[in-house]
Structure 1
Amino acid sequence: MPASTAQRHDEQHALLRLLASGAAAGGLRRLLDSHGSATAALAAGARDWASHGLGADARAAIRNPGREAIARGECWLDAPGRQLIGWRDPDYPPLLRRISGPPAMLFVAGDAGLLWRPAVAVVGSRAATAGGCANAASFAAALAAAGLCVTSGLAAGIDAAAHNAALDAGGATLAVLGTGPDIAYPPRHRPLLERMATHGAVVSEHLPGTQPLKQHFPSRNRILAGLSLGTLVIEAADRSGALITARLAADAGREVFALPGSIHNPMARGCHRLIREGATLVESADEVLALLGPLAADLARALRGELGTPIAGVEPILETTLPSDPDYNRLWQALGHDPTGMDELVERSGLTAAALSSMLLALELEGRVAAEHGRYCRIGV
């Protein structure tokens, strides 16, 4: 076995062992940041693990791992088109790094490049109306045709309508699961899961074999919001997972859109609530593209500079006007050499949090801005 292949296998095994320990994502990220790789982190020993916040149970589980869970993970990863992306991996999606509490690692089936594609989350009720599903399909098809990746959660109702429409349109779509990457939930979506893994991408932070648990779905929603430039809520009851995704998107400085509906439709109440709280009311996909287009173009330009190659599928979006230099100058003047939080940057620059988030990402990838714990500062003059 060539050395590079052996090293990848060892790193993959080490990542699985760390994840199977049940340690919190924050402790695993700190451990990987300190040692640069999962292999080195494992070799550091229990005292070092404790210093990074790993509890006694997690340390014991790392020393004596559950062989069945790790074997299942390695078996899943052995199939073509699958990978495990760790926190220190250069393929880890940059937008996801910027949220509060990003996952320490991600299982991906299908096209992992979609994690870097400018995306919009299309979410809503599992018990959606026929009209709501039709709206989800219409918006998803138009957004996918424009070059955006349509992200959702593979759930019944709005999620499935959005995924299927994006696939039918020949566009890009990505599903974030609250289960292991091999588990379809609901089970009847097994064909859709397999279609997504072949023609799109499926993402999970959970080990293969992980069954659906209630607490996994709000956690799933933070990844869904974090991978997307904006979140579009089609239909949602007054208390729903879609509203959690929208709140997490807003907290991350991303755009939130909502479709209005009949005052007599209980599935419209969540959308109306979001609109009252400041979400953008939209009636067509063009309105979403008008707001996300410049952000997507800016992200694509930054990533092309980082990778040195074009990012397939974003050219339709790149026809939209880029953020002007005066906006960058306003941001640069608002930044200092001391770390500054997003709220203060909004106040200093007069720009929106969503616009700042996109520009800060571009500057970060260009090596001109450093980001740590949600605060930003200049690098150099």
Structure 2
Amino acid sequence: MNSQLHLQNNDVTAWLTLASAQRVSPKLWLEALKRLQLSPFALANDSKTLPEDVKPLTGQISQPLIDAALRWCQASSNRHIITLSSPYYPQLLKQLDSPPLVLFATGDKQLLQKPQLAIVGSRRASLQGKRIANDIAFGLSSSGIAVTSGLAMGIDSAAHQGAMSGSTGTVAVMGTGPDKIYPTKNSKLYDLINSEGGVTITEFFPGQGPKPWHFPRRNRIIAALSLGTLVVEAKIKSGTLITANLAADMGREVFAVPGSIFHAYSEGCHWLIQQGAKLVTNINDILVEIGVQPAQISLQVDEQNEKSTANSLATDKLLASVDYDITAIDVIAQRNAISVSQAMASLLEYELRGLVAAVPGGYVKLRGK
């Protein structure tokens, strides 16, 4: 057992070593491995005997990045380094021309083996858009589909929250190192995902903060991981449409939710529908297209709801005191005979789970009793 563990550690360190060469694309490493018929360990450690055309690649290896990655992983049993050869590495991701050699994951790494559906959209989403993303994500998660998104504000956050209220969970793909949360406002959501059955993943090494060029790379992973990508709200010129186009280029399904012709954030969805994206009005439009029939689900939705924390929270008096229209915080506090500060602290938990949303003037209920 110890020798097996030693081999696993060697394998992880070898892939980390190759990945630490940030200026070398994974594709070049994979081509070298195939051409030279070497293991990652041999390629990473036998630089003196390598052909001259490969030595410049090994010269890019960064020991500080390797050390930082190992320290990060060893600090918690909830942290994982998933290499290209790991059984937890998503098979769909291997279809990329240049797949990440390692993924840094926090949370339930087994979730990466579940079928996934991406939900993406505007950071400045409307309340209606966030409700739609939340409800569809909840439905997909309750149907055995993990919901994948990018941990951004707006549609991404609503999708993660809805999925966490369901029975399957969510995959958050980060555009930073695993220890750098962006935006920082989503720190609590990040913690919730990692501690309650979800998983956050990234190809960026610990310590690496947000850079403009990180997010297109993140978007390609979101598209690649998923059987399809649903766009809820997006402008014509946006990173959301880039993700949708990446999904289409990979042969994956693209879905879009229609909206008002007077709303700028509907333009991207309408353009996608004109280009052949599947118009979505409910989750069955998605499930049928990706080959999952509601009748095939092993658990009934009511049964799944009973098992979800969201449903138990939904019976709470505090949630019942929030209306589907805007409810002022002082009204909520008065209905529950508690202080405003106590009400706000309690409502934060509901907000993180996608049951209520904070809006100008108070809160609105998204789901529940």
TM bucket normalised to smaller: 0.7 to 0.9
Deviations 1:253-310 (A, max 9, x none): 111000111111111111011111110111111111111134999xxxxxxxxxxxxx
1:53-92 equivalences under 5 Å are 56=56, 58-62=57-61, 65-67=62-64, 69-78=65-74, 79-92=76-89
Alignment-mate amino acid for residue 73 of structure 1: A
- What residue in structure 1 maps to residue 345 of structure 2? none
Equivalent of 1:203, from 201, 205, 208?
A: 201
Partner of 1:366: none
Q: Tell me which residue corresponds to 1:142.
A: 139
SS in 1 for 2:50: helix
Structure 1 alignment gaps of length 5 or more: 298-312, 318-381
Alignment-derived partner of residue 29 in structure 1: 30
1:2 matched to which residue of 2?
2
Q: Secondary structure at the match of 1:84?
A: strand
d(CA) in 2 for partners of 1:295 and 1:243? 27
Out of 218, 231, 234, the position equivalent to 1:233 is: 231
The aligned residue for residue 14 of structure 1 is: 14
| CA drift at 1:35 | 4.9
TM-score normalised per structure 1: 0.72
For residue 240 of structure 2, what is the amino acid of its counterpart?
A
- State the 1:50 CA deviation: 5.3
Query: Aligned equivalents of 2:108 and 2:13: distance in 1?
Result: 22
Q: What secondary structure, in the 3-state scheme, does the structure 1 residue paired with 2:6 have?
A: helix
Residue 339 of structure 1 is matched in structure 2 by: none
Distance 1:72 1:119 in 2: 30
Q: 2-side partners of 1:13 and 1:296: how far apart?
A: 43
User: Percent identity of the aligned residues?
Assistant: 39
In the alignment, structure 1 residue 157 sits paired with structure 2 residue 154 = yes
Structure 1 residue 17 displacement after superposition: 2.0
CA distance in 2, matches of 1:31, 1:4: 26
Which amino acid in the other structure matches residue 69 of structure 2? Answer: G
Larger radius of gyration: 2
1:233: how far off? 0.2
Pair 1:14–1:286, CA change in 2 (3 A): same
The answer to whether residue 178 in structure 2 is matched with residue 181 in structure 1 is yes
- Offset from partner CA, 1:92-137 (integer Å, 9 cap, x none): 2111112333222211111222222111000000111111101100
- What pairs with 1:125-136 in structure 2 (closer than 5 Å)? 125-136=122-133
Match for 1:215 among 203, 213, 216? 213
Q: How does 1:271-290 map to 2 (within 5 A)?
A: 271-290=269-288
1:245 corresponds to which residue? 243
* Cα deviation code 1:5-62 (max 9, x no counterpart): 222222222222222222211122234445564322213325637545x7x3x42233
Contact 2:16/2:102 (<8 A) preserved: no
Distance 2:260 2:111 in 1: 35
How high is the TM-score relative to the length of structure 2?
A: 0.75
Structure 1 residue 169: Cα displacement: 2.4
Amino acid of the residue matched to residue 60 of structure 1?
A: G
Unaligned regions of 5+ residues in structure 2, if any?
301-369
Question: Structure 2: which amino acid aligns with 1:30?
Answer: E
The secondary structure found in structure 1 opposite 2:201 is strand
Three-state SS of the structure 1 residue aligned to 2:291 is helix
CA separation of 1:44 and 1:197: change in aligned 2, threshold 3 A: same
Indicate the SS of the match to 1:293: coil
Equivalent position amino acid for 2:72 in 1 = W
Contact residue 144 and residue 167 of structure 2 kept, 8 A: no
Identify if the C-alpha distance between structure 1 residues 88 and 295 changes in structure 2 by more than 3 Å, giving closer, same or farther. Answer: farther
- Give the secondary structure class of the aligned counterpart of 2:69: helix
Whether contact under 8 Å (1:35, 1:41) holds in the other structure is no
User: How many residue pairs are counted as aligned between the two chains?
Assistant: 296
User: Letter of the aligned partner of 1:206 in structure 2?
Assistant: F
Output the CA distance in 2 between the equivalents of 1:214 and 1:167. 28
SS at match of 1:260: coil
Counterpart Cα distance in 2 of 1:170 and 1:187: 26
